[in-house]
Structure 1
Amino acid sequence: MILSLIVPIYNVEEYISDFFYSIAYQMHKDIELVIINDGTEDNSIHILVSLIKEIIHPNLQANFIILSQTNSGQSSARNYGIKEAKGRYIGFIDPDDIVAENFISLLLHSINLNNDTDVFHYNAKKINENGTVILGDINYVDKDQSFIAEKKYILGMFEQDIWYPWLRVFKRDIISEFQFPINILLEDKYLFPKIYISRVNKITEINSSLVLYRIRGNSSLNNKDKQEKILESLCCGMKEYKDSNNDLLYSIYLQYFWSYLYDISKFNFKYIFYRMIGFKKEYCSFINVKSKKEMLVTRFPIFFVLFLKFKRLLGTF
């Protein structure tokens, strides 16, 4: 088996047919879809099973592996999929998205030409919730190329901050050494920088949009419970990387923290203002003060949030 594609399923019956039809007619004997039923409460799995029997050639039906677990979240489902996957390479797809009609052919072609590559990158397009309008591009790659990942390139990736799991395919020997963290948000930001710094050597980039990423209305940034979970998750990342003594990873997570403070404050400034008052002691305990900006955030987090709002009003941030 060349490629395993892991698909966590939870309450996506509205979108699952679009996803399935986009990939069904591309299926290949060297591809398996590892579908993880994460305790879905709707008809998603029933729809999938029916479509597999109806559309997929009998010789390929065994390439659709359906596994089940009690609802434990997307990270747990992906970890289960990684454990059970048989492919030399492993990728991830979200079942509310759509793949391009050349998704599998391009990936197989690239893998066959570059079978010593550690990770493949490609691009995506954003679509609206109905899947009828292209809203823009996610341009992660600008040309077809293979190269050794030097520190300058890795730093550029961090600045791009495009860590979606479905924009890359990893060599199984690498991704299987790691696990997506459980019970935190932004798990890709938590995990992938660590993988790239410690294990990725050769990268192959495919300058094609292979995924149509569906923009849905339930933004985490506009949900108070998820706002809290985002801040807690970012704190976990900063603590993890401070304890690891990896200054690069730590500084990345600190930048994420500032960025999300700003983004959440656009939706709920009052929440951020009062949350930072209570958070100051905990926050200060694992911040390494190395610059004037960090000193401002550490000692005066409330003023920093006010500063972000002022910058936004001026249109300079």
Structure 2
Amino acid sequence: MKTIAVVLGARPQFIKHAPVSPHLRKYFNELIIHTGQHYEKRMSEVFFKELKLPTPILLRRGIKFSTPSKQCEGMIDMLKKTFSKHKPDAVLVYGDTTSTLAGAITARICNLPLIHVEAGLRSFNYTMPEEFNRVITDHCSQLVFAPTKDAVKNLKKEKCLAIIKTCGDVMFDAFLMAKKFNSSRKLTINKFYFLTLHRNYNVDKLSYLKKILYAVNKLDKNVIFSIHPRTKKMLKSAGIPYRNYENIQFLKPLSYFDTHLYLQHAECILTDSGGMQKEAYWHKKKCITLRTETEWTDTLKGGWNHLCGNHFNEISKLIGIKPNERRYNKNLFGKSGSSKRIVGEIRRMLRL
């Protein structure tokens, strides 16, 4: 049986691989490698347990380097040793994190076929590390899976040499898992907005972070804020207590299913996450994206998603704009079963 090395490191990647993993294990020896990029229990271990992912090889708990490039270099060094020991036949990566890039570069160094799920997405903001990561990964790959027609167009425009397939979005399969799990669960609160923040340009600049929280604190409904460790660290180092924001309820990082329970009941989603823009769309919830651009441009159609940029005082106004129900497309990112189709294409590539 051939071996597929699956390089994961961040919370969104654990989620994306969850629906793929059972199908992959039917035909391959699945070698999950955790780079340690997200290593805290609530950001990693909880997800492996909840999503029933096999125990991974953990390269290092909490890789701490001075820069993302140093972090990537450390991951590559450890991945080379792991690939040398386990001798995989191909490497599978997801998304656009530092772990994605490290997996892609190491596969290229080791002359291993690379498979990239969630390929072709472009925000065209080349100052974003994620944009660099996804472009390089696409062009290192032999097989790529693009979730949208626009993603395919981007790859063809860049003359990407990989085999390009459109099999839908694996996150939709994960969303359906969460929807089924939460079907009989209830929340004791209602009429609230749900907030997440983790991007470096929103969190690492204290002035920006304070402006966002100030604007959100003035909204007409309570705000549930699932706080990322990075954001928590910034507030703590600045000596800013949670009690300064009476309208915001700060929660520890939520599990995947719990996150969807809150998304399901929220009046509106406020986020700088890429994946959550789609998740809000699937829940038919209005989303305000706290960024100047998005790689998920299709969500902007019909007013289901709005880019706020740094005009945080406009958040309340944007929330008040009703989306166009007639322009909602339930199959915008494909139908269920993308995970199974992806594994089928991997089998064809490796001639199984």
TM-score range (shorter-chain normalised) is 0.3 to 0.5
| Structure richer in strand, relative to its length | 1
Larger relative contact order (Cα-Cα within 8 Å, sequence gap ≥ 6): 1
